[in-house]
Amino acid sequence: MNAFKPTETLNVRGIGVHYGGALILDSVDLPPVKAGAITAFAGPNGAGKSTLLRAIAGMVKAQGEAHFSGQDLMRLSVPERGRILGFMPQGLDGASRLTVLEAIIASLRVFSPGLPLSACHEKALAVMEQVGILDFALRPLNRLSGGQRQLASLAQSLVRQPRILLLDEPTSALDLRHQIEVMSILRDVARAGCMVLVVLHDLALVANWADEVVFLQDGRVAASGAPLEVMTPELLRNIYGVHALVGRGGDDHAFVTVTGLA
């Protein structure tokens, strides 16, 4: 892993994004994001979750600041940013003929061009084992299922051992078992000192795996804090327009059950 400092924070202030005259994010401030924590972004479609991740990563034109270790991430060059950030999009290119191994090595070498090929192979194999995709290491990306491509994308984002990991719906194409496996991997990465920021639609995953949750609505922060403190039936009714039950079961696992439309 890169050298992590447990006291490091990511401070995001005043993020604003416009597309074609439409306001997507309206001066968004986030609570300080801490090393070692999983911070989830939730909210309805079109709330601005993915755009916020991309703005922090410097991938869309945006106003505001994202300060980390004395630097504004949104103002760094692509190589500088790539040495700090890992970004997992919603999906890899399904037409690519690169094998999974080749794609992961390519991701590593973009930001570490001087790294010997043998070391690249070693790192790629290690991250594929971590994610559980060694079995299709030599399979082309265009012959993978959507879920398999999602796991390959996760491996690409992890291989450089970033200090900040941004993931856009990493569980959306996965079955239940693989969802839990991915969240377990993210928990291990966070425990190692990484800042994990993840867009999630499944509120049960948010409740059970996130340390903090930020709910977005209409391009603004509607609520933030510890999941079970913030995620009340009233909040879910106001944001999603549904009636829901939120609590903990006998096994201490949180549940979110939608009972109908509000």
Q: What is the pLDDT along the chain (262 residues), one digit of tens a residue?
A: 455 556 689 999 999 999 988 999 999 999 999 999 999 999 999 999 999 999 999 899 999 999 999 999 999 988 899 889 999 998 766 668 899 999 999 999 988 888 999 999 999 999 999 999 999 999 999 999 989 999 999 999 999 999 999 999 999 989 999 999 999 999 999 999 999 999 999 999 999 999 999 999 999 999 999 999 999 999 999 999 999 999 998 888 999 999 999 9
Question: Could you give the CA distance from residue 119 to residue 105 in angstroms, rounded to a whole number?
Answer: 10
Residue with tokens 């439309």: 261
100-111 and 117-131 are packed helices; what angle lies between their axes, rounded to 10 degrees? Answer: 120
Q: What is the model's pLDDT at position 261? A: 97
User: Taking Cα atoms as reference points, which of 25, 6, 5, 24 lies closest to residue 15?
Assistant: 25
- Residues forming beta bridges with residue 87, ordered by sequence position: 166
Quote the pTM value: 0.94
Phi, psi of 47, deg, nearest 5 = -75, -20
Q: What is the model's pLDDT at position 1? A: 44
Cβ atoms of 41 and 53 within 8 Å: the answer is yes
User: Taking Cα atoms as reference points, which of 13, 47, 50 lies closest to residue 215?
Assistant: 47
Q: What is the model's pLDDT at position 113? A: 85
Question: Could you give the CA distance from residue 82 to residue 93 in angstroms, rounded to a whole number?
Answer: 20
Q: What are the helix (H) ranges across the chain?
A: 49-56, 78-82, 100-111, 117-131, 146-158, 176-191, 203-209, 227-230, 233-240
- Per-residue burial over 162-195, b if 16 or more Cβ lie within 10 Å, else e, is bbbbbbbbbbbbbeeebbebbbebbeebbeebbb
- Residues forming beta bridges with residue 10, ordered by sequence position: 33, 68
Question: Could you give the CA distance from residue 229 to residue 243 in angstroms, rounded to a whole number?
Answer: 17
Tell me how crowded residue 85 is: count the other CB atoms within 10 A of its CB: 25
Question: Could you give the CA distance from residue 235 to residue 43 in angstroms, rounded to a whole number?
Answer: 11
The per-residue pLDDT for range 108-152, each reduced to its tens digit, is 998 888 899 999 999 999 999 999 999 999 999 999 998 999 999
